[in-house]
Chains A and B, each alone.
Chain A
């Protein structure tokens, strides 16, 4: 990581500390912000958080490793979580799973080499009346059929294109 990136991360985490406070109850909200922004919680980030909240980094790691939405390994920009629980299972989630793997060229638990997509299983996401259901980051898709998988991924790629341009413009300014 570049020194400037490290500085930026430290500034960001400080700002979240100002927002959520500097006691232990602020830990998870801060980690959630880091995860959202950076699609991972690096060891460096954990160290900064630990220093700021005056707790041992192992404590922070213990929390990160407990929750399935927090991860210290890098994830893709889009995390696709397909529900594998009962009602979705009964509505052919296996076919959707297969198509996701085919179209992304990865298996569950993996991230595409370009860092765009991570494919994961979810447990029941509360859409059981409309399975199979999946989450793309915070967005829900229901009654997903194998032929819709392509459209969903294309939508992500388009959103990413727009996003990437915005980011480039930001950097130029």
Chain B
């Protein structure tokens, strides 16, 4: 296959702006952590104010603290590298270029909570990264950065294994991920209990996003004050954004939390956008009139997927593509999600055919709101978001359509 890769170019490099990950001294964070007590490591992470970079935005210090407090001699640290949210590819870039930092973050988390075993759950679509990651792990073992008595600290043992996903978006949800690791169908569990309490094989488990773990290593290297000094009060630090769609310079960018959408669009060459989809298929569609809004937990929270929608984009087509995604990826365990996504997709088709009454559209919106409340996991709770925001912001565009042929009905 390598000949093919050369001839057709295979994959291309992803454009990245300057990333702080490149300027952190390797293993500085781990060395600093190894000199601290477990409580002090967690205190440092808590003081940074960092919230999880995977999308849900749970404070990382709190999560680590809960797992550290749990009474069990076996605990786990899981790196969530399932990156399946449409429009997200920052974790791929981090794993390709800064995997040491991710492993360092996992090792620090292991020390902090008292886990000896880490697992990277790598999505099947990223199988080609595995040899590289295994090689880095092997090197870290020979450098005594993994294994027994890491950096000479007695009792500090930690190792990392890689497990592959098999093509299921829902397995990015932390309890589905754990089910999958346990050899089951990737169906989300009821929460509580939370993984910090009852996680992998019933043991306390920290599940963190790839980026969260990399920042954790940076925070231990450069100090909580550095991180906290960036961003806003409620959304501290830096964040990676995966930017795609109708813009001149798609790629992975690092911005301080709290950046406005218009600033971001200027950086990537997408100023003429009609709307921006923030947070991927499960996120919200933000129209141009709201581009002054900011990407922050207190305004528009996001795992970093930004899809720029240019002036000519058909919003119904966007809604339809997202709903097709959810119909396919719903695990089917609960009715609001399983049946609801199908109903919403049928609704979009009616709209495309110009055959949807206002009354029915309202019913669909009510259904979407029910799904947000009644679905068992984040997939069904967020799958109506894009539809609802497109209906709200672009009602004029989507009603009374006469473009049956142009609407892509096959």
Contacts and interface: CB of A to CB of B under 8 A. Distances in A.
Interface of A: 23-29, 31-32, 62-63, 66-70, 84-87, 89-90, 122-131, 133, 135-144, 148, 151-152, 154-156, 158-159
A123 B293 CA distance: 29
Given A85-B325, A128-B89, A155 B125 contact: no
Given A63-B183, A135-B125, A127 B168 contact: no
B155 interface: no
Interface of B: 1, 3-5, 7-12, 14-15, 83-89, 91-92, 123-128, 163-169, 180-187, 201, 242-246, 250-252, 277, 281, 307, 313, 317-318, 321-322, 324-325, 328-329, 331
Contacts of B324: 84
Given A90-B246, A126-B126, A142-B12, A28 B1 contact: no
Contacts of A25: 181-183, 201
B9 A123 contact: no
B89 A129 contact: yes
A41 to B, nearest CB: 11
A66 B83 contact: no
B164 A148 contact: no
A86 B87 contact: yes
B328 A26 contact: no
A48 B5 CA distance: 37
Contacts of B87: 85-87, 124, 128
A137 B124 CA distance: 10
Contact of A159 (B1, B126, B165, B186): B1
Contacts of B251: 129
A159 B85 CA distance: 32
B244 A158 contact: no
A103 B317 CA distance: 27
A67 B181 CA distance: 13
Contact of A126 (B12, B89, B164, B181): B89
Nearest to B7: A151
A86 B324 CA distance: 10
Nearest to A142: B11
